[in-house]
Amino acid sequence: MTDVLKPRDAKEVEDAVRWAIGHEKALELAGHGSKRAIGRPSQTDVTLDLSGLSGVTLYEPEELVLSAKAGTPLAEIEALLDKNNQILAFEPMDYGPLLGGGAGEGTIGGAIAVNLSGPRRIKAGAARDHFLGVAAVTGRGDSIKSGGRVVKNVTGYDLCKLMAGSWGTLAAMTDITIKVLPKAETEATVLVSGLDDAHAAQTMAAAMGSPFDVSAAAHLPDHVVSWFDGLPNAEAATLLRVDGFAPSVMHRKEALAALLKPFGPVAVLDAKDSQTLWRGVREVRPFAVGAARERPLWRISAPPRRGHEIANLITPAAQMFYDWAGGLIWVAMPVPDEPDAGSIRKAVAQVGGHASLIRAPASVRAAVDVFEPEAPGVAALSKRVKESFDPKSVLNPGRMWAGV
Amino acid sequence: MQTGFSLAQLLDPQTAESERILRACVHCGFCTATCPTYVLLGDELDSPRGRIYLIKEMLEQAKPATREVVKHIDRCLSCLSCMTTCPSGVHYMHLVDHARDQIEKTYKRPMADRAIRALLARVLTDPAKFRFAVTMGLIARPFAPLLNAIGLKRMAAMLKLTPRRKPAPPIERTGKVHPANGERRGRVALLSGCINPVLAPSTDEAAIRVLNRHGIEVVVAAGEACCGSLVHHMGREAEALAFARNNIDAWTREIDGEGLDAILMTVSGCGVTIKDYGFMLRGDAAYAEKAARVAALAKDVSEYVGGLAILPLRDVRGLTVAYHSACSLQHGQNVTREPKELLANAGFIVKDVPEGHLCCGSAGTYNILEPVLAKGLQARKVANIEGVTPDIIAAGNIGCITQIGAGTSIPIVHTIELIDWATGGPVPEPLAQLAAQRAA
Amino acid sequence: MTLRMPDVDGEVLARRARIVSALRTIVPGEGVIDQAREMRAFESDGLTAYRQIPMVVVLPQTTQQVSQVLSFCYTEGIKVVPRGAGTSLSGGALPLADGVLLGMAKFNRIREIDFDNRVAVVEPGVTNLAVSEAVAHAGFYYAPDPSSQIACTIGGNVAENSGGVHCLKYGMTTNNVLGCEVVLMNGEVLRLGGKHLDAQGYDLLGVLIGSEGLLGVVTEVTVRILKKAEMQRAVLIGFSTSEDAGACVSAIIGAGIIPGGMEMMDKPAIHAVEEFVHAGYPLDVEALLIVEVDGPRAEVDYLIERVEAIAKTCNAVSCQVSTSEEQRLLFWAGRKAAFPAVGRISPDYFCTDGTIPRAKLPQVLAAMKKMSEKYGLRVANVFHAGDGNLHPLILYDANNPGELDKVEEFGSEILRLCVEVGGVLTGEHGVGVEKRDLMPVMFSEVDLDAQQRVKCAFDEKGLLNPGKVFPKLHRCAELGRMHISGGKLPFPDIPRF
């Protein structure tokens, strides 16, 4: 009995899923397997390796659309887009280093399946906002399609939204169509030094409420700044990025710097330093290197203005930094096997939002809720949705919640 | 919109006109957004689009109006905000006027309803009767809450609108000519009307002073009387047309006599109707042409004065005026800029009122006949006005002034009285305190 | 009306009186309307070609009432059709003869404005424009701006995933909503999302938006609000062919410029609006492009110059740049008046809505000209050039017998063509009843069944807005089954690869 199936095309994916249904096997869906270690530990029999479905099938830069097979490496797509001065506007995170792998791994299917959205989310939207069309094999062995190759499309239910962020539990995507956007000519980052978390939240709110079109907003408390390259000093750094056409960036960075002066000492970083810095944010650098790799890592999504309150509600030994103007918080707990889920859940209940245990040993992830437990009504609905796609629990069973 | 009138029905000119109006409606629903009753109630039946539907059905079926249809048509303020909003040019005003006429002809109202309407039709169309009613009202005013409690809400509403002071003593105003100061540059008629002489004679006196001051002779035509607006809005069409003909005759005598450059109104509610005289009497061979001529000469006082070069004499700088744009001016006559420009040129700081397109709830007799909705709109309007913290409120319609005045302590005066003050006239009485503070 | 709707449940109609009085105990006062003459006002939405008086109209005011009404209908097996402002152009709010028409327009309060988190929490009956107006004093606005924004409600926007001129740059409703409170058909009240920026588990909010009132009734919405751009300027460009116009759009995007809005009008549309609005549109061009650039001042001036330069390289025959806010508004006045202007030259018009890959526009326009001759009906085109969303306006007279049927055929043919060239049936107006029977043109049975199963997860009795979007109704039990024989599912042995 093989424990890896590697289909060569969409038809073979369908065959594989049907086989699994027929023989009551549970499948683990994997592109490059770069995010294998996220979620509740695998309760599957066989791995469905989708990396064989690779290759860009359509790319029309002036139509802002690209289609590719789901197993196409993200790096390949990003390189192609870059050649044409375009980007994936949702600036996908890179969890590779975080999870003990290399940087630049992962497939486009994986990125969409986990709604992998980075700093630019606050301006340009999340991965799910750029996901236009899909062909996939459901847990019933049905090959379906939804959406299309055009942005304006309200024909039928938006199944793309359901599949994005579903962690491969609803369907095995075989073909993906996404919206792509122009790459900015240049960028700059305005930096305010020495702010505590609460003042940083206020500063970021002011920047986001300005007409200067901020494309990323993050706050690095002083206990994490040493991990980032390109910072002028060892104080806490609140970062606001502006990008676009050169003349525009030139004016806006100065205007933004002037606006933020009342909040603290301001510096402006040029394109090169800015890019380095934000790469570090995308890789969750402080918790992706050295001893920090052993620490349980939470990803908290909260109302941006209130994110900073989380710090006061959990152990002071936790380390953290903020993205999405305070709406995304990476929290590393001090003790390797102790995620301290109780305090995190309580904090999130008070502030609003949800928390996911992105990294922890498998034994911990088996014992603790990895994804935020949903309210009973929503949980029941999620279960029914799962069953509508995958009644036999063939696809990544239990990856998100027990019994789903 | 698809219509289902028979050819026989379309032989009637009024029905044909309404069919034309109905066909223009594409049911887009934009009108619902700016309709005061829809904004308050969220019920399609209390929106222009819904009312158009009800009217269409009533006219097509040629059956008597029902209680439900009457309820929703009665709730229409005739503010005409919908007409300003409608992208398709639906003439809602003519349609609802036809509907009201039809209702009065085919629907038997409950006795209390008939009684109060008859009372209003009699009292509000004649200054002498109105003066008497106000005097009586002053005496009965303290009983308003009691009346409200026992369910006589409309009587209570009427009493609450009675001003707290005695009405002005009766003076014969018609047939008077007020010569210009110095060289005469123009000649206009001024409608004295039914309500102003009793509640606010200062308004017309101010208008006359402003006009005289700028070289315009003013005549209050002999034989003029009510413009017919209120009874027209109640669907009492025969009475309305009789009033119209009377005034047309009075003004025609002046036009054919010494001549008139314009016929002015200080009550914008009257202005809408007088400008519509041509349409209302289009089927009357004897009056059609005269009516059209009178309608073409009709102007709101702010429109006309705005065309004169006014000379501000008094320093009124620093006084903030919230300009309340009466529905009958902004929607009914499309007069929006002129009063504000007048005030600004006179030196006042002019502020717009948020949700300025929404009615204050006065709407003729609406604040008596539909007291609950009127109160809701009054509260909303007052809150919006007070939110801009003005020193003074200016408006071009006695109905609005009474309605808003009853809900706020900020002084409210007619626009023309402010212009009079700014160009050398006396300080309007509600502003006496304010002016004293400035002098000190 | 040639439209087939689900079979009327005579059993429910027989109980009508009892149902109405039960509803009156849940929603007292004027909130229950049951007389045909009054219900008639609710018989259609913006698509007046289709009309149906409902069994009863209910206008609730609280989430509690909505929950109780739905729960009651669920127990009694009564269908429910939700309605916002009734401005839908696809018949999404068309009532059912045996159903409750649930009007949400009384939910008209803005509950909270949170500038710190840049969101507003509003009731579903609040109009789209009212949201922007409520935050305008602080220099904010709500980005999705359908042309009916003065009247259409946020709840309706959620149901249809509404777009608008500015959705090219700022996204559609689904990209601008962070949370909602929704009542399921069985009366259950759920909260999805909130002020935080991504979904907790499955993106249930994402599938709810655009579900056209089939998955739940929304009773509260949390929307994103954005800071208004410092400046907006527009360029009005005329072309002698639609190919040139299309090429210009491609060139602008190819240069890395994403305008705030990019709209195109064809000659018939230009003539119709110019006669009524006098915006100064050139009358001798085949296609007119309005490109709006918004953003920080420095950026706008720079980009306007670049757009102007690009226009010249694309054979523009006229090019005007707005130099003031008044002029910019004037450029837009014509485009915004397109529908009503067309309404003035024709007793009625039918607005269709398909999306095509932009490069296919000249081909589609040429084909439509031929169709116009074939059907003997004039057509004017308004096109969201930036994202390929096309609005052909077919002019007709409803009082002419048989004309409506021709219009429907013409519309269907256009939409089939859209799908044929790689586009979709509807860009922003929704499927509703209008395009329901064309769904098989885009989706296979298997595709449609998968969507239906999602519906079953939300509403297994199929009582919420049946007869819309999907041409066939299935019983959920039937759809849920997987065919088993001999204890094993008949699927192949281990695949040989």
pLDDT by residue (tens digit) across B198-245? 999 999 999 999 999 999 999 999 999 999 999 999 999 999 999 999
Q: State chain C's mean pLDDT as an integer.
A: 93
Q: How far is B96 from chain C (nearest CA, A)?
A: 16
Measured between alpha carbons, how far is B377 from C4 in angstroms, rounded to an integer?
A: 44
The model's pTM is 0.94
C404 touching A (Cβ < 8 Å): no
d(CA C102, CA A33): 48
- Measure CB to CB from residue A152 to each of C163, C189, C257 and give the nearest one: C163
What distance in Å separates residue C317's CA from the closest CA in chain A? 23
pLDDT band at A1 (very low <50, low <70, confident <90, very high): very low
CA closest to B33 among chain C residues: C151
What's the pLDDT score for residue A230? 84
Query: What is the predicted pLDDT for the residue at C486?
Result: 45
Chain-chain contact of C37 with B69 (C-beta, under 8 angstroms): yes
pLDDT at C2 over 80: no
Nearest CA of chain C to the CA of A333: how many Å?
21
What confidence tier does B73 reach under pLDDT thresholds 50, 70, 90? very high
Kindly state whether C191 is in contact with chain A, defined as any CB-CB distance less than 8 angstroms.
Answer: yes
**Nearest-neighbour CA in chain C from B210: distance (Å):** 34
- Which residues of C are less than 8 Å from B50 in CB distance? 41
Q: How far apart are CA A226 and CA A221, in angstroms?
A: 10
Site from C1, C30, C33, C37 to mutate, B interface, most B CB atoms within 10 angstroms: C37
Question: Smallest Cβ distance to C200: which of A5, A374, A389?
Answer: A374
Residues C451, A146: C-beta atoms closer than 8 Å: yes
Q: Residues A92-144: pLDDT tens digits? A: 999 999 998 889 999 999 999 999 999 999 999 999 999 999 999 999 999 99
Candidates A149, A152, A352; nearest CB to C422? A149
Contact C457 A16 (CB under 8 A): no
List of chain B residues whose C-beta atoms are within 8 Å of the C-beta of residue C400:
none
- Cα distance from A23 to chain C (closest Cα, Å)? 8
> Amino acid identity of B379?
A
* pLDDT digits 0-9 by tens, A149-194: 998 999 999 999 999 999 999 999 999 999 999 999 999 999 999 9
Q: Which residues contact residue B258 at a Cβ distance below 8 angstroms, ignoring those fewer than 6 apart?
A: B187, B219
Do C423 and A210 lie within an 8 Å CB cutoff? no
Q: Is the pLDDT of residue A294 over 80?
A: yes
Q: Angle CA(B288)–CA(B208)–CA(B304) in degrees, nearest 5?
A: 55
CB < 8 Å to C430, chain A: 154
Judged by CB atoms closer than 8 Å, whether chains meet at A391 and C202 is answered as no
Q: Is the pLDDT of residue C1 over 60?
A: no
pLDDT for the residue B440: 59
Of C37, C337, C343, Cβ closest to residue B57: C37
Determine the pLDDT at residue C495: 58
Q: Which residue of A has its CA nearest to C471?
A: A156
pLDDT(A400) > 50: yes
Report the pLDDT value the prediction gives residue B151, as an integer from 0 to 100. 79
Of C116, C139, C209, the CB nearest to A305: C116
Give the B-side interface with C, CB within 8 Å: 1-3, 23-24, 26-34, 38-39, 41-45, 49-50, 53-54, 57, 66, 68-69, 72, 85, 87-89
Q: What is the pLDDT of residue C424?
A: 95
The interface predicted TM-score of the complex, written ipTM, equals 0.96
What's the CA gap between B56 and B59, in Å, rounded?
5
Three-class SS of chain C = CCCCCCCCCHHHHHCHHHHHHHHHHHCCHHHEECCHHHHHHHCCCCCCCCCCCCCEEECCCCHHHHHHHHHHHHHHCCEEEEECCCCCCCCCCCCCCCEEEEECCCCCCEEEEECCCCEEEECCCCEHHHHHHHHHHHCEECCCCCCCCCCCEHHHHHHHCCCCCCHHHHCCHHHCEEEEEEECCCCCEEEEECCCCCCCCCCHHHHHCCCCCCCCEEEEEEEECEECCCEEEEEEEEECCHHHHHHHHHHHHHCCCCCCEEEEEEHHHHHHHHHHHCCCCCCCCCEEEEEEEEECHHHHHHHHHHHHHHHHHCCCCEEEECCCHHHHHHHHHHHHCHHHHHHHHCCEEEECCEECCHHHHHHHHHHHHHHHHHHCCCEEEEEECCCCEEEEEEEECCCCCCHHHHHHHHHHHHHHHHHHCCCECCCCCCCCCCCHHHHHHHCCHHHHHHHHHHHHHHCCCCCECCCCCCCCCCCHHHHHCCCCECCECCCCCCCCC
- B89 neighbourhood in chain C, CB within 8 Å: 340, 344
* Chain C hits for A302, Cβ within 8 Å: 196
Q: How far does A28 lie from chain C, in Å, by closest CA? A: 16
Average pLDDT over residues B402-408: 94
Are chains C and B touching, using the cut-off of 8 Å on CB pairs and a minimum of 3 such pairs?
Answer: yes
The distance of B83 to chain C (nearest Cα, Å) reads 14
**pLDDT confidence of residue C429:** 94
Query: Which residue of chain A is at minimal alpha-carbon distance from C172?
Result: A152
Residues in chain B with CB shorter than 8 Å from the CB of C340 are: 26, 28, 87-89
Chain B residues touching residue C106 (CB < 8 angstroms): 41-43
Question: Tens of pLDDT along C150-179?
Answer: 999 999 999 999 999 999 999 999 999 999
CB contact under 8 Å between C204 and A381, yes or no, is: yes
pLDDT digit string (tens) for B373-382? 999 999 999 9
Taking a contact as any Cβ pair under 8 Å apart, which residues of chain A between 302 and 341 contact chain C? 302-306, 324, 327-328
pLDDT at position C497: 56
What are C269's two structure tokens?
Answer: 């549309």
For B24, nearest residue in chain C (alpha carbons): C347
**How much of chain B, in percent, has pLDDT values that exceed 70?**
99
Q: Report CB contact under 8 Å: C455, A157.
A: yes
In this prediction, what percent of chain C has a pLDDT beyond 70?
A: 97
Alpha carbon distance A176, A70 (integer Å): 6
For chain B, percent of residues with pLDDT exceeding 90: 80
Identify whether the C-beta of residue B137 lies closer than 8 Å to the C-beta of residue B236: no
Q: What is the pLDDT of residue A163?
A: 97
C108 and B34: CB-CB below 8 Å? no
What pLDDT sits at residue B148? 84
Minimal Cβ distance to A209: which of C227, C295, C453: C227
Nearest CA in chain B to C341: B88
Over residues C436-489, the pLDDT tens digits come to: 999 999 999 999 999 999 999 999 999 999 999 999 888 888 888 876 554 455
Q: Report the residue of B3, B34, B44 to disrupt the C interface, i.e. the one with the largest count of C CBs within 10 Å.
A: B44
Interfacial A residues in 53-92 facing C (CB < 8 Å): 60-65, 85
Choose the closest CB to B42 out of C46, C125, C349. Answer: C125
Q: What is the mean pLDDT of chain A?
A: 95
Q: Is A23 on the interface with C (CB under 8 A)?
A: yes
**Which of C355, C357, C454 is nearest residue A388 as measured by Cβ atoms?**
C454
**Is C197 close to A328, i.e. CB distance below 8 A?**
yes
CA pair distance B22, B18, nearest whole angstrom: 6
> Which of the other chains make 3 or more beta carbon contacts under 8 angstroms with chain C?
A, B
Query: Rounded mean pLDDT of B53-72?
Result: 94
**Closest residue to B89, CB basis, from C38, C87, C344:** C344
> Which among C115, C230, C491 is the nearest to A18, CB-wise?
C491
